Every structure is written in structure tokens, then in C-alpha cells.
Amino acid sequence: MSTKTSPVRTVLISGASIAGPALAHWLHRYGFTPTVVERAPELRSGGYKVDLRGEAVEVCERMGIMDEVRAHSTDMQLGAYVDADNRVVGEMPAAFFGGRVDGDDEIMRGDLARILYERTRDDVEYLFGDSIASLTEDSDGVLVTFENAPPRRFDLVVGADGMHSHTRRLVFGDEERFRRHLGAYISIFTAPNDLELDRREVYHVVVDKMVCAYSSQGQQTARNMFVFASPEIPYDHRDTAAQKRILHNTFAQNESWEIPRLLSHAASADDFYFDSISLIEMDRWSKGRVVLLGDAAHCVSPAAGQGTGLALIGAYTLAGELAASRGDFRQALDAYERHMRPGVEHTQDFARKFVTQMTVDRQWKIRLRLLMLRTLPKMPWRNLIAKKITEDVQKAAHVVPLKGYGAGRVAA
């Protein structure tokens, strides 16, 4: 077999959430021709608020979108734990919870996806409501058939299609081989702002479960979030009705606090999100001319809180390496993975540890946690704890340094 490779020019990206449009931006800027295919009929809204810290902020600055991100900041002010009677047990500035420092920001996932899409839509071809049907690689490229569009050839295919990546399944094998369930599920959806929250988040904890509601800057609505500990539950991850049933059945017996009212809005939510808190662990993120990016390659789960940042940094790095290697994809894919992997593995270690704190498995431990929260503001070591949280979070936000690739148009 010839080892000579033709340079990469055309790139098909599967998935238009965070990683996909961010990669499309950089590829276009370097002179490649990206096409993005997204299974959903339009850009998907919804999801939680995502932190942008450290190098992820720097990537947004280099993309020229940081001002727009700041204009859509959640501007969260306060986080509070409440008891069953809605009495505040402990309240803290949101920045304390988030471990944020000056320059960091927080934005709704859907707002960030829209900013990235709008930045790229005039320069990049988007195929909504479609999906890759098959991939056949030969020495010159990849022949792609789609569920709807006619077949086309591309020089490189990037799977940026999330934790349940379809591209990964087609090329690397079944999801079960790579996904590690961390013992909990998360659901989040838009709902009426029943608790009249204004840039405030409210948490309530019961055994093995946590419920939260928040409303961010400029929102008339709230987001209701449910987390619960559970072994793996078999269901079709594309079957929203089944997911709503699981959530309902899990929380139906919980009368505590506002749980029934917050839960009641799940049935009619059209941006309902539900997923296992899982990691994707792979020995290798590319095979031939197909490479994975973001959650598809290395989901770090909401327990780590860095998934969006790593998706942005990964997109910047993958495009930069492709540009720097002048289209020699083998060299570029090796360099991309070598650069990203240590930080990803560090973040996944953090997620494995932190997931155990998302829910509490005994009533006495909940009482202890609430007692600590109640007394913390009066404690002299309060500032030391805030400092430690900030240090840990900031360390996690700087696990992948940014290389300077320049922003010239280098593809042939």
C-alpha cells in the first residue's frame, strides 16, 4: 500500500453543537473547506449553563467571540441550598460555587452553540436533518453516504457528534466498549420560573438525588435540573418519551420541597435533556481518515464541568495541527491527540472523584452537609475553603496549554 497521502482540503464534520461549529470556524480560517452535518432538523437549544475558563476563554478570544459570549453571560449572583420548607440553609456567591476568577465567564450551552453557528453559517455548509449512513475509506479520501443527501467524497471526516457518537460506532465499534457509566443520571429542561428566581440557583438534596432550579440573566424562564444516583438503566438514548418516563418514575415518590411542581414541567418541555453521567475512554481517537473530537472522543461528563472547554480547545488544536502539517493528516492527528490526551485524562480522573459528591447516599450525611453549609459563612476558614475551590477549579481549567498556530490561510 502506498504511504503517500494527498493533502486534506475538504472535511466533513458530524455534529453541530460546540465542537463541530468551533472546528468549522478554525478550518475555514485556515483555508480548508468544512461541511457540517447535524442530525437534528435545526440547531439544538437547551442544556445547562457552561463555564468558560482558562484556555477556553483564550480560544474564544482568538475566535473573536468573547465579547458576544460576555453579552450572553448568565451573570449568576447567588447559589443557595434550601430545606424541605424552602428555607435557605446556606447561601453563597455564585462565583464561590463556580471557582471563577476575573476573565472567566458562564453562558447557556444553547447560546454558545448559536454564537458559534452564526459565526460560521455564511462560510460553512451546514446540512441539518441528516446523518452519515456509511463511510468507506480508500487511499485518497472517504466516500460518505448520507441518509438524505447524495453521496460525496471528503479528505477527512470528524465525529463531533457527542457522547453517543454515531461516527464512533461506524468506525470504532459499539458504544459499550468505550462508555463508562459513573453511577448517576442528569436531566435538565426549560420550565416556567415557578420560584421567581433572578440570576439565582437553588439546590435541594434528598437521599441519592439532587434537584436544582436556576434562572440566568435575561431569562423569563428557569432551568430545572435533576440528578440521581443509579446503576445503568437500559433505554434508547434517542427516545425522549422513555427518558421522561424514567425521570418521572424516579422522582414521583419525592414530595419534598418543590420537587413535584418542578418535575411536572418535564412532560411538556421541548428541550428536555437526559443522559447518563459517563466518560468516553478510548485508546486512540482516530483511525485512518476519521477522527473524533469533543465528547465523541473523550466525554468528561458534567461531573468534571470542563466538557465544553475541552471541546473548544480540541477544535482549536485539531484545526491548528492540520494547518501546521500542511494537510498531512496522519502527522496532524497524532499531534492533536498527543497534545490533548494528558489534560483529558486528568479531567476524567477529577470527574470520577467528583461524581460521588453530586448526590448523597444517607440522610445523616445530608444533615451533616446542610450543617456545614449553615455554619460555613460564620467560619473563619471560609476564605480558605473558597481559595481551595478556586485553586482546584483553575488548575482544571489549565490542563491543556494552547499552542500558537497563527491564523494564516495555509491549506493548499
- Taking CB under 6 A as the binding criterion, the range among 82-90, 279-287, 304-312, 362-370 that sits at the site for ligand FAD is 304-312
Using the rule CB under 6 A, is 19 a contact of ligand FAD? yes
Q: What is the DSSP letter of 175?
A: G
Using the rule CB under 6 A, is 25 a contact of ligand FAD? no
Using the rule CB under 6 A, is 182 a contact of ligand FAD? no
Using the rule CB under 6 A, is 162 a contact of ligand FAD? yes
Considering beta carbons, is residue 10 or 306 the nearer one to ligand FAD?
A: 306
Considering beta carbons, is residue 22 or 373 the nearer one to ligand FAD?
A: 22
* Least distance in angstroms from the C-beta of 310 to ligand FAD: 7
Using the rule CB under 6 A, is 344 a contact of ligand FAD? no
Q: Tell me how crowded residue 309 is: count the other CB atoms within 10 A of its CB.
A: 28
Contact call for residues 50 and 73 (beta carbons, < 8 A): no
* Least distance in angstroms from the C-beta of 271 to ligand FAD: 7
Give the x/- contact pattern for ligand FAD in 223-262, rule: CB under 6 A.
----------------------------------------
Using the rule CB under 6 A, is 285 a contact of ligand FAD? no
- Kindly give the pairing relationship between strand 78-82 and strand 179-192: unpaired
What number of CA atoms fall less than 13 Å from residue 135's CA on the CB side?
26
Using the rule CB under 6 A, is 152 a contact of ligand FAD? no
Using the rule CB under 6 A, is 98 a contact of ligand FAD? no
Q: Tell me how crowded residue 268 is: count the other CB atoms within 10 A of its CB.
A: 12
Burial of 331 from C-beta contacts in 10 A (0-12 / 13-18 / 19+): middle
Write down the H helix ranges in 72-185: 94-98, 109-120, 166-172
Report phi then psi at 272, rounded to 5.
-55, 125
Using the rule CB under 6 A, is 17 a contact of ligand FAD? yes
AA identity, residue 268: S
Please list the residues that pair with 138 across neighbouring strands: 141
Distances (CA, A) of 125 to 68, 121, 204, 259: 23, 7, 44, 43
Using the rule CB under 6 A, is 309 a contact of ligand FAD? no
Please list the residues that pair with 353 across neighbouring strands: none
Least Cα distance to 12 among 116, 112, 141 occurs for: 141
- Taking CB under 6 A as the binding criterion, the range among 45-53, 70-78, 318-326, 386-394 that sits at the site for ligand FAD is 45-53
- Selected from 131, 215, 278, 347, the binder of ligand FAD by CB under 6 A is 131
Contact call for residues 167 and 13 (beta carbons, < 8 A): no
Site size for ligand FAD (CB under 6 A): 31
- Selected from 302, 320, 327, 343, the binder of ligand FAD by CB under 6 A is 302
Using the rule CB under 6 A, is 100 a contact of ligand FAD? no
Strand (E) or helix (H) holding 319: helix 307-324
- Selected from 5, 7, 44, 219, the binder of ligand FAD by CB under 6 A is 44
Using the rule CB under 6 A, is 53 a contact of ligand FAD? no
Cα(232)–Cα(246) distance, integer angstroms: 12
- Taking CB under 6 A as the binding criterion, the range among 13-21, 99-107, 176-184, 325-333 that sits at the site for ligand FAD is 13-21
- Selected from 250, 278, 308, 325, the binder of ligand FAD by CB under 6 A is 308
Using the rule CB under 6 A, is 159 a contact of ligand FAD? no
Using the rule CB under 6 A, is 347 a contact of ligand FAD? no
Q: Which residue is nearest to ligand FAD (CB)?
A: 294
Using the rule CB under 6 A, is 14 a contact of ligand FAD? yes
Using the rule CB under 6 A, is 106 a contact of ligand FAD? no
Cα(142)–Cα(155) distance, integer angstroms: 6
Total length of the chain: 412
Site residues (CB under 6 A) for ligand FAD, limited to 186-215: 186, 188
Considering beta carbons, is residue 49 or 90 the nearer one to ligand FAD?
A: 49
Report phi then psi at 91, rounded to 5.
-135, 140
- Selected from 24, 30, 47, 195, the binder of ligand FAD by CB under 6 A is 47
Cα(20)–Cα(37) distance, integer angstroms: 9
Cα(394)–Cα(65) distance, integer angstroms: 22
Q: Tell me how crowded residue 236 is: count the other CB atoms within 10 A of its CB.
A: 9
Least Cα distance to 401 among 310, 325, 333, 326 occurs for: 310
Residues that bind ligand FAD (CB under 6 A): 14-20, 37-40, 44, 46-48, 109, 131, 160-163, 166, 186, 188, 273, 294-295, 302, 307-308, 311
